[in-house]
Amino acid sequence: MELELRVKEAIKLAKENLKNAGIKNMQDAEFILANILNTDTAGLNSIEFMSKKEAKRFVKDIKARCKHCPLDKIIGYTDFLSIRIPFDKNTLSPRQETEILTEKIIKDIKGKKLTVLDLCSGSGCIGIAIAKATPVSVTLSDISKKANKIAKKNAELNGVEVAILTSDLFDNIPTKFDIIVSNPPYIKRRDLEVLEIEVRDFDPRLALDGGDDGLDFYRDIIAKAPEYLNNGGKLYLEIGIEQSKDVVKLLNKDFEDIVVEKDYNGIDRYIIAKKRDKNAK
């Protein structure tokens, strides 16, 4: 891509380059340039020219994106609802799909003072965004100490207090909660190699690998969650493509009011279920 100082023209050129490189999300050009020019994408409309130095950086960043380097690694962060999560190679980069799940929970909480466990919390994006938007008390838990260190930093950066536990799923969880949320690893092991480059080469394996059929974590979480949910407690899960039937089957034993919801691509992506009250007739 050649050097272009006119903002509109440079964006046009960058989009052509991204398209030729097979990058679907061409809006990335605007995000990258907005980051360089210290503005947001709407702010680009009022800037006509950039400096040579800025244009050089734009070319460099667009070239990196054309080589499938993820956007959050180039600009250094992902905005996730009302929080900002810096890129880190040890945690899964927050996804837009997960924003929707988190929004649903925030809406359901409706200002109530509940307790929430974010299981397999990684960067902490789900729990931290919930803690930012509601009066609940949030516990993050992940098997990875490295991830927990990052989650702690992310919580501080976003000005929220959360408890953080290192635990292999429920192994080290001492109490019950009103809500358990999890976006666990759910990719089938044999599919890991054919993931898009941005995911395959930049997200940690540990955050992706869901075992042979991709369902390992759901089996364990669903089997143990009732023990860690208060009466009437709810489990919120993000799931992978074509996993809803299997996960609902697993839930049928101890959960009721099971709802499957779609993401913005029309794919079954979220399951919400209430712990069944064993004493009810």
140 counts as binding ligand GLN under rule CB under 6 A: no
Closest CA to 244 of 221, 261, 225, 264: 261
Candidate ranges 34-42, 46-54, 105-113, 180-188; the one touching ligand GLN (CB under 6 A): 180-188
In the complex, minimum distance from the CB of residue 185 to ligand GLN, in angstroms, rounded to a whole number: 5
Size of the site for ligand GLN (CB under 6 A): 13
Q: Tokens 């250094």 sit at which residue?
A: 76
Q: How far apart are CA 263 and CA 104, in angstroms?
A: 12
Q: Which is nearer to ligand GLN, 127 or 233 (CB)?
A: 127
Task: Give the number of other CB atoms < 10 A from CB of residue 215.
Answer: 21
Candidate ranges 30-38, 52-60, 64-72, 117-125; the one touching ligand GLN (CB under 6 A): 117-125
Pick the binder of ligand GLN from 78, 167, 183, 244 (CB under 6 A): 183
CA count, 13 A, side-chain hemisphere, 26: 13
Binding mask 97-116 for ligand GLN (x = CB under 6 A): -x------------------
Q: Which residue is nearest to ligand GLN (CB)?
A: 122
Pick the binder of ligand GLN from 13, 18, 34, 92 (CB under 6 A): 92
- For the record, the structure tokens of 116 come out as 């929430």
214 counts as binding ligand GLN under rule CB under 6 A: no
Name the strand (E) or helix (H) holding 9: helix 7-20
Closest CA to 10 of 166, 267, 208, 36: 36
The sign of the dihedral angle between the CA atoms of 208, 146, 98, 21 is negative
Q: 39, 47 in Cβ contact below 8 A?
A: yes
121 counts as binding ligand GLN under rule CB under 6 A: yes
In the complex, minimum distance from the CB of residue 269 to ligand GLN, in angstroms, rounded to a whole number: 12
- Name the site residues for ligand GLN (rule: CB under 6 A): 92, 94, 98, 120-123, 125-126, 183-185, 207
